[in-house]
Amino acid sequence: MTDVLSDLLQHSLRIVLCGTAAGTTSAAERAYYAHRQNKFWKILHETRLTPEPLRPHQYRSLLHHGIGLTDLVKAGAGMDRATLPKLTAADRARLSNAIATFRPQFLAFTSKTAGQKFFDGKRDYGEQCDLIGDTRVWILPSTSGAANGSWRPEIWHRFADEVRAAVG
């Protein structure tokens, strides 16, 4: 089975943002975080991780800002709570190997579900004690409109502050 959305990864990234899987709108649009109610693009600009607001179809331009994108499950699409293919050891290894290869300063899961699936257990938002090589790992609140009840932009702001502090 082929990837729903291709990874957006290269060397010298500051951040890799990782979701659980492409949403159905993102899969149809062939662009990350494409649903109109998703707050992903707004929070990237609000936290100054991108200097200008971007639209989903411009996702490749994130590389110019030192940001890459991937998902845990590459062959499935749907919401976190929907039935996605079960995350396998191979999925975890693929992500770990990509992070070890590209060596970003930060890997941030863009939902608690993604972080907990990767670590295979309960985790809270914020920086995790685990590293992948030298890469610091964070779990951020989901930007999905379906997750409005758990939206906490202050955690995204704290993450962005840590990214800036690590650079300077």
Question: E-assigned strands of the chain?
Answer: 15-19, 67-71, 106-109, 126-132, 135-139
The answer, yes or no, to whether residue 131 has pLDDT greater than 70, is yes
pLDDT band at residue 18, thresholds of 50, 70 and 90? Answer: very high
pLDDT tens for each residue of 19-56: 988 888 998 899 999 999 999 999 999 999 999 999 99
The pLDDT value recorded for residue 45 is: 98
d(CA 97, CA 91): 10
Centre a 10 Å sphere on the Cβ of residue 149 and count the other Cβ atoms it contains: 5
Contact 29, 23 (CB under 8 A): no
d(CA 17, CA 3): 17
pLDDT tens for each residue of 81-119: 554 557 778 889 999 999 999 999 999 999 999 999 999
The pLDDT value recorded for residue 83 is: 45
Contact 24, 77 (CB under 8 A): yes
Predicted TM-score (pTM) of this structure: 0.92
Cα–Cα–Cα angle for 38, 44, 45, nearest 5°? 110
Main-chain dihedrals φ then ψ at residue 161, nearest 5 degrees: -60, -40
Name the residue with higher pLDDT: 80 or 9.
9
Q: Does domain 15-167 match CATH 3.30.43.10?
A: no
Task: Give mean pLDDT, residues 69-86.
Answer: 68
108 is written with which tokens?
């941030």
DSSP assignments along 18-46, one per residue: EESSB-HHHHHHTSTT-STT--HHHHHHH
Task: Give mean pLDDT, residues 133-161.
Answer: 94
Nearest to 84 by CA among 150, 4, 142: 4
H or E stretch covering 166: helix 153-167
